[in-house]
A = this chain, B = another copy of it.
Amino acid sequence: MVLLRLLADHPAVSSVIPVSSSKAGDALAAIDPGLSSCYPKADITGGKLVSVDEAAAMKPDVVFAALPHLESARICEPFLGKSIVIDLSADFRIRNREVFRKAYGEEPPRPDLLPQAVYGLCEVYRDSIRKADIIANPGCYPTATLLPLIPILRSFPVENLITVNALSGISGAGKKAKIDNLFCERAENTCAYSPGKTHRHSVEIEQELLTMVPEVNLLFTPHLVPLKRGMNITTVITLKEATEKDAILSCLKDFYADSTFVQVVHPRIPETKDVWGTNRCDIGFHLEGKNLILMSVIDNLVKGASGQAVQNMNIRFGLPERQGLRLHGEY
């Protein structure tokens, strides 16, 4: 639904075809009253949700698939080769079949297509995204964790143990009617969940880290905190050799010099409210001897999902990267 809002205000998007297997025929306004009665970009379908086949027949330029894992790749099939596919599930993210099987409990649905898929971490893989037919939009935890880590790991040798402590707003859990997600369970409450390798995003992070370091001992602990939106990552690594604060600062600033959405805010400490509603990732750090604490924040529903998907579309279609995306938050 955040995606629909982003597309509504995107100047280069003229028509939007809302798709639903189960609710085809329903009015869009009935599904999400917050969208208001006027969503003129959906006029192409009469303001109604249509089925996958109806949508495919309309030959859209780009398809955003925001379905559960395993289901997503299958739904994308009628569009493959005709439309650019931006998939928000994990189906095209994990390149190793064995790793996918362990994490998701099934074979990857279309392993044959994995070589064509590009991991859509925009600021890092921009060049490949420009040519990709399938873009695997990264998970929220991997996005926020990898953005500060990648420049550091590419520049400094580090010890194997990488400790990631993550805080997530409740919207990360989706809109399912579960006791665990009730207001009275989550307000005035925090807890860790799926610690260590029991969280699927752990293998997604690990896959990227292994492109830079030969071995990694990743310890990832996500927590739920009472936010509607927001993700706050604290990563602790140990450098093999002592270095200066300025070297860290330059490394991060240089890497993201041309990336408006990633802001190195050191010596300020990033706060989730500053990026709320935006496509930004704000990064800070603290160096103590050889220990380096990296702090990064995103809006899990924007840079951690729909916003990055739109950014990927912008890159793929040669549009200005910022188009239709917010740089300034609400606060």
Contact = CB atoms under 8 A, between A and B. Distances in A.
A6 B175 CA distance: 30
B232 A192 contact: yes
**Identical copies in the complex:** 4
A293 B202 CA distance: 15
Interface string A33-52: 11111100000000000000
Interface stretch (A63-71, A74-82, A140-148, A274-282): A274-282
A188 interface: yes
B236 A187 contact: no
B328 A34 contact: yes
Interface stretch (A85-93, A127-135, A222-230): A222-230
Contacts of A331: 1, 34, 184, 228
Interface stretch (A107-115, A241-249, A260-268): A260-268
B219 A223 contact: no
B327 A38 contact: yes
Interface string A266-292: 001111111011001000101011010
Interface stretch (A15-23, A160-168, A203-211): A160-168
B225 A34 contact: no
A170 B185 contact: no
Contacts of A240: none
B167 A223 contact: yes
